[in-house]
Amino acid sequence: MADAPVSRAARRRLRWWDIRQQWSMLGVFEITADHEFFRLTTFIKEGARVSIQKGLISEAPDALTAEHYRSRDEQTHKGFTMETFAAPVFQHVRRSLDISEDQYLDSLCSDQCYLQFISNSKSRANFFVTYDKRFFLKTQSRREFCVFARVQVSVGVEAWRHIRNDDWSRVWLNIASEQECQYQAYVDHLEKYPHSIMVRFLGVYKIVIPNETQKYFIVMQSVFFPDERINVRYDVKGCEVGRWTHPDTGGKQIIKVLKDNDFQGNIGLGPEKAWFVEQVKADSEFLRSLNVLDYSLLIAHQPLHQDELDRKHSFANLVLRTTKSLDLDSPEPDEPTAPLLSQNSAPTDPDPGPDPTVDLSDPEAIQLAPLGSTHSELQEFGEHHRRLLPNCDNAVHVVDGPEKRYFVGIIDIFTVYGWKKRLENLWKRIRFPGRAFSTVSPRKYSARFAQWIQDRTE
């Protein structure tokens, strides 16, 4: 007797089981009803849904003001309260990445369970991932929250009073109007460098479950999205002390994130090397100006398939990439254009056809107009250090080399060089004389970080 055909529902269940098995091998575990964080993540999704839906009513502001940065919205729900900080600012950032509010809502607040991400990181934070692995949620300490919201020059007396009273969230409301919060400097940097490889923060929240827990958490765009074909990940700081990870998992279901001393080979970007190296310098110099150190560059790679290489070299793809690169902060461009492409045809002929002397299969043969062009788009392209983004999801964190696709992003930007780090620096200078360790001044850290990456990029 022939086997009965497998129903569509059964095929979906088999597929879902297969995906769960893959997650378990990668150190990503589904937060089901019997998981310790199920109650917390359920409340997070419920609170975030209300907050995002409020944002759907009003559009993201074109110009941000001090009030936007100081805004705070508290919602009381059954069993918990949820606070949303600087909602218009984060909505503005999401729009700049072409992430619609509906997409953000569907991913962050889906009925599908969150995933718990477990790695060999020393951080005590909890990491959650949306079901589609597009967004990361990371719990933050009160210190990290204060760093995120702190002013660059000084904090007002009233703000310090709330800090002493252990009400850190009120610091957000007490930043003097004439001063600049650190997140505002971060957003300004992204406005200046729209293709910066710094991690994109998409929301900051605080959840309080009475008599149980109080947590700050931040939502970030995942650097490694989509990650289906990634099989090696690195976290590099540009130093050697403590920067080695044994690749053997010992049978444990965790993702091994390798470090500086494990790094093999080079970052093969070809023509993209110059842009990448300069952008790393710009980003690390910005972090130095904030007195920040101990940040990392996440790196992963996967081979480009032949069909991806073929599309990459097509003229049509080049036009799409150019449009995407210029309109990253405009989700709905009026009309696709490619002003970076040199226009050799006569203006009276709207469709002259391809130039028979140009091999369109060779991207090097396609001439780009010089950055000295009078077009405002070209001037902005050069001033803001843009590049031709790949035509893919998560484009700001993806750089294509001749043979591999690289996922890159600078993370962990909350460590300030205060008195504790200065004491740690003194101790390590005695403990590790002549060796490179992470706890150094932001000036030295920035220069060494950028040089390490430049020396290994080709």
Q: Are residues 95 and 196 in the same domain?
A: yes
In this prediction, residues 277-285 reach a mean pLDDT of 96
Beta bridge partners of 119: 255
Which of helix, strand or coil describes residue 255?
Answer: strand
Which CATH number do you get for residue 322? 3.30.810
Task: Report how far residue 400's alpha carbon sits from residue 325's, in angstroms, rounded to the nearest whole number.
Answer: 14
Cis-peptide into 271, omega within 30 deg: no
Residue with tokens 């050069």: 382
Query: For the chain, how far is it from start to end, CA to CA, in angstroms?
Result: 62
Shared domain for 312 and 445, answered yes or no, is yes
Domain boundary among 159, 193, 222: 222
Domains of the chain: total: 2
The reply to whether 2 falls in a domain is no
Q: What is the mean pLDDT of residues 264-276?
A: 93
| Distance, CA of 55 to CA of 101 (rounded, Å) | 8
Q: With 50 as the cut, is the pLDDT of residue 348 above it?
A: no
Percent of the chain with pLDDT over 90: 48
Tell me, yes or no, whether 285 and 145 share the same domain: no
More confident residue, 77 or 336: 77
Domain assignment of residue 292, yes or no: yes
Indicate if 64 and 164 belong to the same structural domain: yes
Question: Domain of 442?
Answer: 270-329+337-343+358-455
Rounded to whole angstroms, the Cα distance separating 397 from 378 reads 22
Query: Domain check: are 23 and 127 in the same one?
Result: yes
Query: Angle at CA 404, nearest 5°, toward 193 and 393?
Result: 50
Same domain, 179 and 315: no
Average of per-residue pLDDT across 395-399:
93
167 shares its domain with 309: no
Of 222, 256, 288, which one is at a domain's C-terminal end?
Answer: 222
DSSP run (H or E) holding 448: helix 442-455
Looking at the domain assignment, is residue 230 inside a domain? no
Residues 6+ apart with CB under 8 A from 449: 237, 238, 280, 284, 295, 297
Tell me which of 385 and 455 has the higher pLDDT: 455
287 and 195 share one domain:
no
pLDDT at 14: 60
**Domain assignment of residue 28, yes or no:** yes
Confidence of residue 323 (pLDDT cuts 50, 70, 90): low
Looking at the fold, whether 218 and 281 belong to one and the same domain comes out as no
Quote the radius of gyration of the chain (alpha carbons, Å).
24
Contact 127, 224 (CB under 8 A): no
Q: How many Cα neighbours within 13 Å face the side chain of 371?
A: 9
Whether residue 74 is predicted with pLDDT greater than 50 in this model: the reply is yes
Average pLDDT for the chain:
78
Which tokens go with 329? 């902060």
Instruction: Return the H-helix or E-strand segment holding 225.
Output: none
Q: Give yes or no for residue 338 having a pLDDT over 70.
A: no
Residue 373's closest CA among 341, 327, 329? 341
Residue 265: how many CB atoms within 10 A of its CB?
9
Q: What does the pLDDT read at residue 230?
A: 87
pLDDT (0 to 100) of residue 398: 94
Residue 1 has pLDDT above 60, yes or no: no
Average pLDDT over every residue of 438-442: 94
Q: What is the pLDDT of residue 410?
A: 97
**Which pLDDT band holds residue 248 (cuts at 50, 70, 90)?**
low
Contact 297, 236 (CB under 8 A): yes
The enclosing domain of 72 has a CATH number of 3.30.800.10
Q: What share of the chain in percent tops pLDDT 70? A: 68
Rounded CA gap, 8 and 110, in Å?
22
Considering the domain architecture, whether residues 46 and 104 belong to the same structural domain is answered as yes
State how far the Cα of 387 lies from the Cα of 325, in Å rounded to an integer. Answer: 7
Give the whole-angstrom CA distance, residue 126 versus residue 112: 19
Per-residue pLDDT of 90-130, as tens digits, reads 999 999 898 999 999 999 999 999 998 876 556 677 889 99
Ranges 2-6, 140-144, 202-206, 209-213: which has the least confidence: 2-6
Mean local confidence (pLDDT), 405-412: 95
Q: What is the DSSP string of 24-55?
A: HHTTEEE--TTSTTHHHHHHHHHHHHHHHHHH
Q: Is residue 232 part of a domain?
A: no
Using an 8 Å Cβ cutoff, are 452 and 300 in contact?
no
Is position 310 within any domain?
Answer: yes
Same domain, 169 and 93: yes
pLDDT in tens, 140-197: 877 777 777 653 333 333 444 444 444 545 544 444 333 456 788 899 999 999 999 9
CA distances from residue 214 to 81, 205, 302, 412 in whole angstroms, order as listed: 10, 11, 39, 22
**HSE, side-chain direction, 13 A CA sphere, residue 420:** 4
